[in-house]
Amino acid sequence: MYIDPKGGRWYKGNLHAHSTLSDGALAFDEVVKMYRQAGYDFLAVTDHWIPSETVEDSDFLLLAGCEYDAVRREQYYKRQRDIRYDINGIGFTLPPQVEQNAGWDGQMIVDAILKAGGLAFYNHPAWLRNRAEDILPIEGLSGIEIYNTFTGMAPHFTLPYSGPVLDELAFGGKLLPAIATDDPHDYQGEQLKSYILLNAASLCYQDVMEALRQGKFLATQGPWLSVAVHDSVVYVETTPVACVRLISDSWMSCQRTGEGITALEFPIPADASYIRVEAEDEQGRTAWSSPIALQ
């Protein structure tokens, strides 16, 4: 747990992991033990099509989880294109009634997760080659992965970072909270890297789910980051970093570099409809804020 300068409690957790119950290299109990011993406060093991259950301890919360997928074929210009939706159900009280290979799409998966009392998070859109138009119609998502460690590891080495997809969605009016996850399968270095810090009242199931529902979390690999907008200024606070990037739908997006940066102010870029901030420390570890709508 991290305590911010104002005394806020931020619990450390990973919402995407796999075990030998589906296509992971470690047994379920080994995965839980690894994250718990590494100082994580909560974890969701999200094996493909195999729902897990919520287990509460005084110092660790295992959230129910499962990864579902669907594929829909559509005409894209002059060729047929398969759109794949990979969506995690988190914290459900009953196993979501999702049918495999039944012509489902992303909205149907999200609806089933919500009906089961869970929250739905969209997985690695850049790796799936999702376009914003694939995700824009889906209602009820609680977040989307801006970074997925596993999809940047061998043999993938492709697109672990989905910032451009989040930007296209924000430009289209859908500002989804950003999460970072490990999504470990092989456990060859992708584990214990990318996670969220959750600003919850406590580590009990109800408080954690409410904080997730409200988007009170930060996607990070280490740095803590706070972003606020007042009048025409973006105020950034962070643990010491070497680079801070202000990103928006304006060509005037910018970055600043330095040693041990902990606070910055940016003018809001002209004509921007939203902003988000990335902060990178000297070790290359990044924190990503969620997109913030501008009035």
Q: Which helix (H) or strand (E) holds 266?
A: strand 254-267
Express each pLDDT in 74-94 by its tens digit. 656 666 778 999 999 999 999
pLDDT tens digits along 90-140? 999 999 999 998 889 999 999 999 999 999 999 999 999 999 999 999 999
Q: Look at residue 35 and give its three-state secondary structure.
A: helix
Lookup: tokens for 119? 């929250």
* pLDDT computed for residue 251 by the predictor: 83
Among 5, 17, 13, 57, residue whose Cα is nearest residue 200: 13
Taking only the tens place, the pLDDT of each residue in 189-228 is 999 999 999 999 999 999 999 999 999 999 999 999 999 9
Residue 41: the pLDDT is 98
3 versus 72: the higher-pLDDT residue is 3
Is the pLDDT assigned to residue 177 strictly greater than 80? Answer: yes
Output DSSP code: residue 48.
B
- Please compute the mean of the pLDDT values over residues 271-293 and round it to a whole number: 97
**Structure-block tokens of residue 191:** 């584990």
> For a pLDDT cut of 90, what percent of the chain falls above it?
88
Residue with tokens 């747990």, as numbered in its chain: 1
Q: Indicate the average pLDDT of the chain.
A: 95
- Torsional class of 77: left (φ above 0), alpha (ψ -120 to 50), beta (otherwise): left
Token digits of residue 265: 């102010």
Mean pLDDT score, 266-289: 96
Residue 252 has pLDDT above 80, yes or no: no
pTM of the model: 0.96
Q: How many CB atoms lie within 10 A of CB 9?
A: 16
